[in-house]
Amino acid sequence: MSLFGGAITLAVPPSHTDASVFREVPDNQEVFVSTTDNSSLIVELLEMERDQQDWALFHFIELASDNDAALPADAIVARTQLQLLPSMNLPSDSSIAIIHGLQFSAKFNKTEKDRVHIFLAVVRIPTVQTDLLISVNRPVDAETSEVNNESALLDFCKLVNTIRVNDWGLFQ
């Protein structure tokens, strides 16, 4: 699917629909919501965080803060790095860090907090001073069941591997 006017493409699952059709989405984000459960997929362009040693963890914690989410002591379920693929069209100094973690967040105007699986990829692109974030938020609730950690992480990594930058003018 074309993102940011076609400057980036990503294989967004067919079960996800563009949220900008029914709500306002910031210019630096593309948001998709599942039509089959309460999960969502967000692609976000942010200025590269230079002052952080562990920039993927920094973005994970920032995401929790933005969502008013609580982080359990065992918040990080898994971490990995992905190899750059030629099909991504990324500069060689880029890198991709993945975190699968848990947050507790009140979703959909509810007062009680749901357990939410967060799959976060931070595509660090130093050449253009950008951290490109891809996140999947998957609450465990009546509509969305618990995930199999290993298969869900593998599926997320497959999704991230489909990212491609087509137009570097987006970053100017």
Residues of the chain with pLDDT under 70: 107-108, 141-147
**How many other C-beta atoms can be found within 10 angstroms of the C-beta atom of residue 50?**
8
State pLDDT tens for residues 20-34.
Answer: 899 999 999 999 999
Q: How are strands ordered across the β-sheet holding 2-3?
A: 2-3, 8-9, 164-165
Q: What is the model's pLDDT at position 141?
A: 67
Q: What is the pTM of this model?
A: 0.92
State pLDDT tens for residues 64-90.
Answer: 988 888 888 888 889 999 999 999 999
Ordered domains of the chain (ranges, CATH): 2-171 (3.40.1000.10)
Q: Contact, 56 vs 122, CB < 8 A?
A: yes
Q: What is the model's pLDDT at position 108?
A: 62
The Cα 163–Cα 49 span in angstroms is: 21
The Cα 81–Cα 18 span in angstroms is: 28
Q: What is the model's pLDDT at position 144?
A: 58
CB-based burial, 112-123: b 16+ in 10 Å, e otherwise: eebebbbbbbbb
Token pair 């880029």: residue: 94
The Cα 160–Cα 157 span in angstroms is: 5
Strands 114-125 and 130-140: antiparallel
